[in-house]
């Protein structure tokens, strides 16, 4: 798979996790004409106190 780059979105706090979809959708809308998403990796990591949600978008320029 050939990619031009990646964009990472991550959120640890509850409020950030609630807003992450809006941040992702805004970025996708702004880059719709110039980027093609070729893969997405979603990760959740946690310990006793914190939960980190991470999305990694791999893209190629159109």
9-55 pLDDT, tens digit per residue, is 999 998 999 999 999 999 999 999 999 999 999 999 998 888 999 99
pLDDT of residue 36: 97
Model confidence at 1, in pLDDT bands (50, 70, 90)?
Answer: confident
How is 23-38 classified by DSSP, letter by letter?
HHHHHHHHHTTTEEEE
DSSP 33: T
Total of domains in the chain: 1
Q: Name the residue range of residue 25's domain.
A: 5-61
CATH of the domain at 29: 3.55.10.10
Give yes or no for a contact between 57 and 23, defined as CB atoms under 8 angstroms apart: no
């Amino acid at each position: 798979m050939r990619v031009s780059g990646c964009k990472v979105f991550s959120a640890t706090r509850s409020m950030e996790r609630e807003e992450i979809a809006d941040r992702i959708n805004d970025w996708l809308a702004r880059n719709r004409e110039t980027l093609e998403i070729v893969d997405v990796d979603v990760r959740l990591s946690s310990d006793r106190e914190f939960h980190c949600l991470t999305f990694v978008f791999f893209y190629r320029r159109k």
